[in-house]
A and B are shown apart, each in its own frame.
Chain A
Amino acid sequence: MAKTNPTQTWLRWLWPPALLCVAATLLPVLYLGVRSFEHGLPTQDLFSPQTAGLLLRSVGLAVTTALLAVAVSTLCALGTSVFAVSGKRMLHVLCVAPLAIPSYVGAATYIAALSPRGPLAQLLQPLGIRVSSPSGFWACVVVLVVFNLPLAYLPIRAALLRTDRSVYEAALLLGKSRLQALWVAAVLPARSAMVSGGVLVGLYALSEFGSVSLLRYDAFPRVIYLQFQSAFDRTQASLNALLLVLCLVVVVVVSEVMQRRLPPVHAERTRPLVLAPSRVQQLAVAALVVVVGVLVLLPVVALLFWLKAHDGSNLDWVWPAVRASLTTGVMGTLLATVFGVPLAVLLHRGQGRWHTFLVRFVDVGFGMPGLIIALGLTFFALRTAPALYQTWGMLALAYGVLYLSLSVSSIRGVLARLPPSQEEAARTLGKTPATAFARVTLPQLKVGVVGGALLVWISCMKELSATLLLIPAGEHTLATRLWAFTDEAMFADAAVPALLLIGIAALGVVVVHKTESSS
């Protein structure tokens, strides 16, 4: 007679909030289903071969971006964790800084900075070097990698910090070179973090529209936007959007399968690995600092440059926008954090594959374009709870659907590192499984909760598409102000909300960093 494992039964209390999140994420998908099939089954000609080609291009962009982001993050993370190298702190700051900068701001500043009449061109002209505005596939990859670097860098670095020195030394003694030993001892155990970070970057790249279109690369989300905009018959648009959702689901499923194949790495007390770098490695880190520094700081420099042209007038909008940005940020963060913990626990402790994939469905929300989420929630709100329509609450719900995945990923990373023997010890000391979780595991999740909350908060502040459609009429966030100004080439004005956004986000990063280092 099989008896249930006594430690798992309290997990069933986590299912109601988890299912709530899954249901919320399903709403836009259901909306797409309704719009796709309301005129009957779709006919052949709604899917053109061009669509398929574009989908492949988007997938190619996403995969390349994810792989490159993971590779660069790993290199940088090695530099800031395992190597005792000067410039380490600066590199770390630079790798986290892109969190604060919206990718569309980044793309716009790159284009402006590298324009043939821009400052860089003027500088390099005497040298005979011609510059041209960035565009195309690789420009998109660079922009997406740079401005999503923290999504991969932070979890990978956290994993690398737990490298076991003994494994490294054992490999050396078995005749491996330093690099091979590093690979075995540091990089391989960090694979789980690489997968989770890479997935986030990939999902974002699959759905990103703003900066990609600025760089003039034809990608799938653009199809969807265009077709929704034709506004007539949304069947085709919805079908294509469903196709995108299917891709997102595939990405999530593949990543979860990969995660489960990887051996678990429990960090019992190990001696941390700190290596003295060779001359070459020192130079490499210095090079990284320079390259990343330029790429990350360029937008800020460009914005400051534009700010100079500002005459100081027309600033009444600042405080209401700041307040709105903070409000949206806080609401979204609260939602994502409160629901993030039960989801992460279920993911980590859940038995049964179907449960896992069901919970990971919320990651699809991260990859869905804001327009679709807004239209989907509108559809359901108007039919079931019209009083909720275009209120702060509904906007918070949209943010929750969009960014919950960031919080879950961060918390799950921390959960995976906690040895299960701690909760078992608590149980032998008389605590029920739920109490053991609350008093032993939960306090240690703080780092993951705070880290995830920061990511969510900054993302909420930067969000544009869903905000434009769902925010209470008359309200603006810093992001919507920024968009309003950049669209009309009012760069001096645009610099203000952009710098404010970056400033507030940077402040958040600093506060969290201080919290982390003190714990």
Chain B
Amino acid sequence: MTQTASTPALRAEGLQKSFDGNVVVDDVSFTLQRGEIFALLGPSGCGKSTTLRMLAGLETPDEGRILLGDDVVNDDHTVVPPEQRHIGLVFQQYALFPHLDVTANVAFGVDDKSVAVDMVQRVGLQHRADAAIHDLSGGEQQRVALARALAPKPSVVLLDEPFANLDASLRQQVQAEVRSVLQQVQATALVVTHDQQEALAMADRVGVMWQGRLLQVATPQELYHQPASPEVAAMVGAGSFLPATCAAEGAGDPTVVTTTLGALAVSGGVHGGTEGRAFVRPHQVKLGAAGQKATVTSCRFFGDHHVVTVDVDGVQVVAHTSPADGASEGDEVFVDVVGEVVFFADGGSLP
């Protein structure tokens, strides 16, 4: 795979795919820089797995181009089959070969066994190098799958919901390990996931997909603080939507909207209309002695914080409080918002 120094490792342009008349991937375009870890985040059925399969060559897009480095692997005239794309894929169910042991699995895509042995060591399985696949735990199998995909030194490695099958307690640790391995071998990786925590923790940049479309591509921080649409906002971190209005053009402060929780500052200013919704993160919502009157409808304890839902004039708002500050259903509290909120003008779809 030829690449000049500045060429992106992977470019997807206008990918389009339908199954039985349903549009599954709708004009998706993005770029992967070399050495970066990119996440495609979205709920089930949003088209992210199909996109991944098209990148790998296991599905053919109806329209669009895919370039790996300088080479066009997919366009209207050419379809390069998967075996020639030099792309690695870690399957959700690992798809390990049961009739081969660990080292043989990892060595499957390479001619030189020493490369495989090295890879097995890198993922920390040297003591299980001769084990049969069915004797391994879930986490060990995942490492074999990763080692196998990385051994041929692919230009890009794709990971399909890699941590979905792992216990929650293991997940964070494994995420860190995988990220470490990927960085060690300087791999360019694309991770497909529905778990926002995973996307935010693993990736340098995240693309949010919804109903086949790519809504926003940005760093985790940008996505969190400046979501481009209500869907992105809802998908990246928790929050509440409040009905909001703002003054008409030229008739008041364009950086403030009026909500049931009072006047709130909008980051980036108001545009797109006068009616809409304000998006408030839970940590911005303070329960105290001042602010709007509200009734607590529920309170759940999460160890390092409480999640308290309050009802403010018929609108449900979620707040995070410190572990010591619980509340009971029916309590009367006062609610205030600190910091800036994000405003979405009406016309977008409801989450």
| Direct A/B contact, Cβ within 8 angstroms | yes
Count residues on chain B whose CB falls below 8 Å from chain A CBs.
28
Q: Mark A57-68, 1 if CB is under 8 A from B, else 0.
A: 000000000000
Contact A431 B93 (CB under 8 A): no
Cα(A332)–Cα(B56), bound, Å: 43
Contact A430 B95 (CB under 8 A): no
Cα(A422)–Cα(B87), bound, Å: 15
Given contacts A6-B60, A427-B58, contact A422 B97 (CB under 8 A): yes
Contact B82 A428 (CB under 8 A): yes
CB of A5 within 8 Å of the partner chain: yes
CB of A11 within 8 Å of the partner chain: no
Q: Mark B85-100, 1 if CB is under 8 A from A, else 0.
A: 1111101010111110
CB of B69 within 8 Å of the partner chain: no
28 A-B pairs with C-beta separation under 8 A? A6-B57, A6-B79, A6-B82, A419-B95, A422-B95, A422-B97, A424-B91, A424-B95, A425-B97, A427-B58, A427-B81, A427-B82, A427-B83, A428-B56, A428-B58, A428-B83, A428-B85, A428-B88, A428-B149, A429-B88, A429-B108, A429-B149, A430-B86, A430-B109, A430-B152, A431-B83, A431-B108, A433-B81
Min CB–CB distance A431 → chain B (angstroms): 6
* Chain B residues positioned under 8 Å from A129 (CB to CB): none
Contact A428 B97 (CB under 8 A): no
Min CB–CB distance A510 → chain B (angstroms): 23
CB of B134 within 8 Å of the partner chain: yes
* Chain B residues positioned under 8 Å from A269 (CB to CB): 93, 134
Cα(A311)–Cα(B87), bound, Å: 74
Count of inter-chain pairs, beta carbons less than 8 A: 76
Which residue of A5, A268, A421, A430 contacts B83 across the interface (Cβ within 8 Å)? Answer: A430
Which residue of A3, A440, A444 contacts B79 across the interface (Cβ within 8 Å)? Answer: A3
Cα(A444)–Cα(B79), bound, Å: 30
Cα(A422)–Cα(B97), bound, Å: 7
Min CB–CB distance A165 → chain B (angstroms): 15
CB-based nearest A residue for B107? A429
Write the residues of chain A forming the contact surface with B, with a CB cutoff of 8 angstroms: 1, 3, 5-7, 268-269, 419, 421-422, 424-433, 436, 439-440, 443-444
CB of B76 within 8 Å of the partner chain: yes
Contacts A6-B57, A424-B58, A429-B88 given; 20 further ones with Cβ under 8 A?
A: A1-B76, A6-B60, A269-B134, A421-B91, A421-B93, A422-B95, A424-B56, A424-B89, A425-B96, A425-B97, A427-B58, A428-B56, A428-B57, A428-B58, A428-B85, A429-B152, A430-B109, A431-B83, A431-B109, A433-B81
Cα(A432)–Cα(B95), bound, Å: 17
Which residue of B81, B86, B87, B149 contacts A6 across the interface (Cβ within 8 Å)? Answer: B81
* Chain B residues positioned under 8 Å from A436 (CB to CB): 83
Cα(A430)–Cα(B57), bound, Å: 12
Given contacts A1-B76, A269-B134, contact A425 B95 (CB under 8 A): yes
Contact B95 A444 (CB under 8 A): no
Given contacts A6-B79, A430-B86, contact A421 B95 (CB under 8 A): yes
Cα(A443)–Cα(B82), bound, Å: 22
* Chain B residues positioned under 8 Å from A431 (CB to CB): 83, 108-109
Contact A424 B98 (CB under 8 A): no
CB of B48 within 8 Å of the partner chain: no
Cα(A430)–Cα(B60), bound, Å: 18
Cα(A432)–Cα(B85), bound, Å: 11
* Chain B residues positioned under 8 Å from A1 (CB to CB): 76
CB of B148 within 8 Å of the partner chain: yes
Min CB–CB distance B317 → chain A (angstroms): 35
Min CB–CB distance B38 → chain A (angstroms): 18
Cα(A493)–Cα(B192), bound, Å: 72
Contact B89 A443 (CB under 8 A): no
Cα(A450)–Cα(B76), bound, Å: 45
CB-based nearest A residue for B92? A421
Min CB–CB distance B101 → chain A (angstroms): 13
Which B residues between 105 and 149 are near A, CB-CB below 8 angstroms?
A: 108-109, 134, 148-149
Cα(A444)–Cα(B99), bound, Å: 7
Min CB–CB distance B217 → chain A (angstroms): 24
CB-based nearest A residue for B84? A430
* Chain A residues positioned under 8 Å from B97 (CB to CB): 422, 425-426, 440
Min CB–CB distance B337 → chain A (angstroms): 42
* Chain A residues positioned under 8 Å from B60 (CB to CB): 3, 5-6
* Chain B residues positioned under 8 Å from A5 (CB to CB): 60
Contact B98 A444 (CB under 8 A): yes
CB-based nearest B residue for A5? B60
* Chain B residues positioned under 8 Å from A444 (CB to CB): 98-99
Min CB–CB distance B77 → chain A (angstroms): 10
* Chain A residues positioned under 8 Å from B81 (CB to CB): 6, 427, 432-433
Min CB–CB distance A380 → chain B (angstroms): 42
Contact A425 B91 (CB under 8 A): yes
Leading 9 A-B pairs by shortest Cβ distance: A429-B109, A421-B95, A425-B95, A428-B89, A427-B82, A443-B99, A6-B81, A3-B60, A268-B93
* Chain A residues positioned under 8 Å from B86 (CB to CB): 430
* Chain A residues positioned under 8 Å from B108 (CB to CB): 426, 429, 431, 439
Cα(A431)–Cα(B148), bound, Å: 13
Min CB–CB distance A351 → chain B (angstroms): 15
Cα(A476)–Cα(B91), bound, Å: 56
Cα(A1)–Cα(B61), bound, Å: 10
* Chain A residues positioned under 8 Å from B87 (CB to CB): 428
CB-based nearest A residue for B154? A428
Min CB–CB distance A349 → chain B (angstroms): 15
Cα(A436)–Cα(B82), bound, Å: 11
Min CB–CB distance B95 → chain A (angstroms): 4
CB-based nearest B residue for A444? B99
* Chain A residues positioned under 8 Å from B152 (CB to CB): 429-430
Given contacts A269-B93, A269-B134, A429-B108, contact A424 B82 (CB under 8 A): yes
Which residue of B57, B89, B99, B134 contacts A425 across the interface (Cβ within 8 Å)? Answer: B89
Cα(A428)–Cα(B73), bound, Å: 14
* Chain B residues positioned under 8 Å from A421 (CB to CB): 91, 93, 95
CB-based nearest B residue for A446? B99
Min CB–CB distance B102 → chain A (angstroms): 15
Report which residue of B57, B83, B87, B134 has the largest number of chain A beta carbons within 10 angstroms of its beta carbon. Answer: B83
* Chain B residues positioned under 8 Å from A422 (CB to CB): 95-97
Cα(A92)–Cα(B38), bound, Å: 53
Cα(A419)–Cα(B93), bound, Å: 10
* Chain A residues positioned under 8 Å from B91 (CB to CB): 421, 424-425
Cα(A429)–Cα(B108), bound, Å: 7
Given contacts A269-B93, A424-B95, contact A432 B83 (CB under 8 A): yes
* Chain A residues positioned under 8 Å from B99 (CB to CB): 443-444
Cα(A443)–Cα(B134), bound, Å: 16
Min CB–CB distance B260 → chain A (angstroms): 41
Min CB–CB distance A2 → chain B (angstroms): 9
* Chain A residues positioned under 8 Å from B93 (CB to CB): 268-269, 419, 421
* Chain A residues positioned under 8 Å from B98 (CB to CB): 444
* Chain A residues positioned under 8 Å from B58 (CB to CB): 7, 424, 427-428
* Chain A residues positioned under 8 Å from B84 (CB to CB): 430
CB-based nearest B residue for A428? B89
Cα(A431)–Cα(B96), bound, Å: 15
Cα(A408)–Cα(B84), bound, Å: 33
* Chain B residues positioned under 8 Å from A440 (CB to CB): 97
* Chain B residues positioned under 8 Å from A7 (CB to CB): 58
